[in-house]
Chain A
Amino acid sequence: MSQKSDKHGKKIPKGVQMIAPDAYPQMLSKPQAARALHTLRSNDTATKAQVAMEAAIPPMRAAILQYVADLEQAAGDMKKQFEIAHEIRGFAENAGMITTGRIAEILCRYMDDMVRLAKPWDATIVVLHTSAIARAARAEEDDVRMGEVVAAELAALVARRLSGPESH
């Protein structure tokens, strides 16, 4: 029996069933799809979306400040710190808190790398980042430049720790 091929001519292994897009219900009909693509790429939609993004900033900012308070209170609870740090990384930029997001990103990268290496976190690094996140979040508007300096220093510290002998 000959082996079946997919649309690229590549053989489909035995026991594998390929279901082509026209063999299952699609999200939109073809005429609807053409109009939908036009809508998604239109300037009008981009403008409306920009308004929506900006309207989300005040409530998201309040939510980030609550996450920051939760992060400070979670000192010593690594699982909780990990979860909250990732929430801050995910939301801060949508709240217009760029520096806060950047510092949370550095902390998350450090935590992810240590989890990957199955190593415990250096408590000092987590405390320093938590403190910097809190300061940046609470002074986001008038302290952007200092926040950027702090973010750069913390990134350098994490890079040094990750490349040091204790992380290998």
Chain B
Amino acid sequence: MYGAGFENLKALIVEDNQHMRSLLRALLNSAGIKDVAEAAHGQGGLEVLRERKSDLVLTDMIMKPMDGLELTRLIRNDERSPNPFVPIIMISGHTEKYKVEAARDAGVTEFLAKPITAQNLFARIAEIVERPRAFVRCDNYFGPDRRRHQNDDYPGPWRRKDDFQQTEVR
């Protein structure tokens, strides 16, 4: 039988607005993701994650008492985290550069700006499915590789610190 591909996938939505939770659930359902749990804040999301396996997390950024950034950091770094590698899509109306960078540095896999569209949400999920990213572990970060694009034909000068280290090794 030719199924949707998502039959066994378990998703978790962490969002403080019940209408947005309902919309996200309905969109996931429309793609065949039927097993969807919900939480209204980061703390609740963490509890759901510990009780129930989740393969995909959609989280808002600004929530109380625990926001999506803290939730992401705990999923990635807490020793009791049930799945530090779980894909996390952060969905937020706060799209200022420093907030998107904070999300990236917390360890999110994808960032989606509100207002959402089905196309954009599905594109983020497709990106996770089609091009899973390597994870990086170092002193101050654990999460998906933050270098999104590798341009092997880059014509400009090399300016990154590790570019020079690389040159020296040669």
Interface residues of A (CB under 8 A from B): 2-3, 6-8, 10-11, 13, 15-21, 24-28, 32-41, 45-46, 48-53, 55-56, 59-60, 63, 83, 86-87, 89-94, 101, 108, 112, 116
Question: When the two chains form their complex, are residues B20 and A52 in contact, meaning their CB atoms are under 8 A apart?
Answer: no
Q: A59-B22, A90-B115 are in contact. Are A37 and B2 (CB under 8 A)?
A: no
Q: Could you tell me the distance between the alpha carbons of A18 and B145 in the complex, rounded to whole angstroms? A: 8
Q: A8-B152, A37-B129, A53-B23 are in contact. Are A45 and B122 (CB under 8 A)?
A: yes
When A3-B169, A8-B150 are in contact, do A83 and B9 touch as well, CB less than 8 Å?
Answer: no
> Once the chains bind, are A33 and B5 in contact (CB under 8 Å)?
yes
- A66–chain B nearest beta-carbon distance, Å: 10
Q: Pick the contact of B115 from A13, A25, A92, A116 — CB < 8 Å?
A: A92
Contact with A along B22-37 (1 / 0, CB 8 A): 1100110111100000
**In the complex, are the beta carbons of A27 and B115 less than 8 A apart?**
no
Show 17 residue pairs from A and B whose CB-CB distance is below 8 angstroms, ordered by the A residue. Answer: A8-B152, A16-B138, A20-B134, A21-B133, A24-B135, A27-B56, A27-B132, A37-B126, A37-B130, A39-B32, A41-B126, A53-B27, A56-B22, A59-B22, A91-B19, A94-B114, A116-B96
A19-B137, A116-B96 given as contacts; is B114 within 8 A of A91 (CB)?
Answer: yes
Q: How many residues of B contact A (CB 8 A)?
A: 57
Inter-chain CA distance A40–B31, complex, in Å, is 6
The 6 closest A-B pairs by CB, nearest first: A90-B93, A36-B5, A35-B5, A90-B114, A49-B118, A48-B30
B87 proximal to A (CB < 8 A): yes
Q: Is the CB of A19 within 8 A of B31?
A: no
Contact of A91 among B4, B6, B62, B115 (CB under 8 A): B115
Q: Does B81 contact A (CB under 8 A)?
A: no
Residue of A with least CB distance to B118: A49
Given known pairs A19-B134, A46-B118, A49-B118, the reply for A32 and B62 (CB within 8 Å) is no
Contact status B31-A94, CB under 8 Å: no
* Cβ distance B29 to chain A, nearest Cβ, rounded Å: 7
Q: Is the CB of A53 within 8 A of B93?
A: no
Q: A28-B9, A112-B96 are in contact. Are A94 and B129 (CB under 8 A)?
A: no
Contacts of A86 in B (CB 8 A): 62, 93-94
Known: A28-B5, A39-B31, A52-B118. A16 touches B126 (CB 8 A): no
Cβ-based interface call for B116 (8 A): yes
Measured between beta carbons, the chain B residues less than 8 angstroms from A46 are 118-119
Contact B23 A94 (CB under 8 A): yes
Contacts of A53 in B (CB 8 A): 23, 27, 117-118
Residues on B with C-beta less than 8 A from A38 are 5
Give B138 Cβ to nearest chain A Cβ, in Å.
4
Is B128's CB within 8 Å of the partner chain A? yes
Q: Are A36 and B19 in contact (CB under 8 A)?
A: no
Known: A27-B129, A51-B30, A116-B96. 16 other contacts (CB 8 A): A10-B162, A11-B165, A15-B138, A17-B137, A18-B145, A21-B134, A27-B86, A33-B5, A39-B31, A49-B31, A60-B23, A87-B17, A91-B20, A91-B93, A92-B115, A94-B23
